[in-house]
Amino acid sequence: MDLPDYNAAMPGRKRTAYSVGKGLLLALAADILFYRKWWMLPVLLVPAAFYVRYDIKAAREERRMRLRNDFREALTSVAVSLRAGYSVENAIPEAARELASSAGQSDCAREFAYMAAQMRLSVPPEKLLSGFARRSHVPEIEDFAAVFEAARRSGGNLAAIMRDTASKIAARIDTEREIETSLAAKRYEQRIMSLMPAGIILYVSLTSPGYFDVLYSTAFGMLVMTACLTVYALGVCWGARVADVRV
pLDDT for 105 beyond 60: yes
Q: Which of 17-31, 32-46, 94-108 has the lowest mean pLDDT?
A: 94-108
Whole-model pTM: value is 0.80
The alpha carbon dihedral of 26, 206, 220, 232 has a sign of: negative
26 or 103: whose pLDDT is higher?
A: 26
Q: Which of 45-54, 148-157, 199-208, 234-243 has the lowest mean pLDDT?
A: 148-157
| pLDDT confidence bin for 156, thresholds 50/70/90 | low
- For position 49, what pLDDT does the model report? 93
- For position 26, what pLDDT does the model report? 93
pLDDT for 246 beyond 70: no
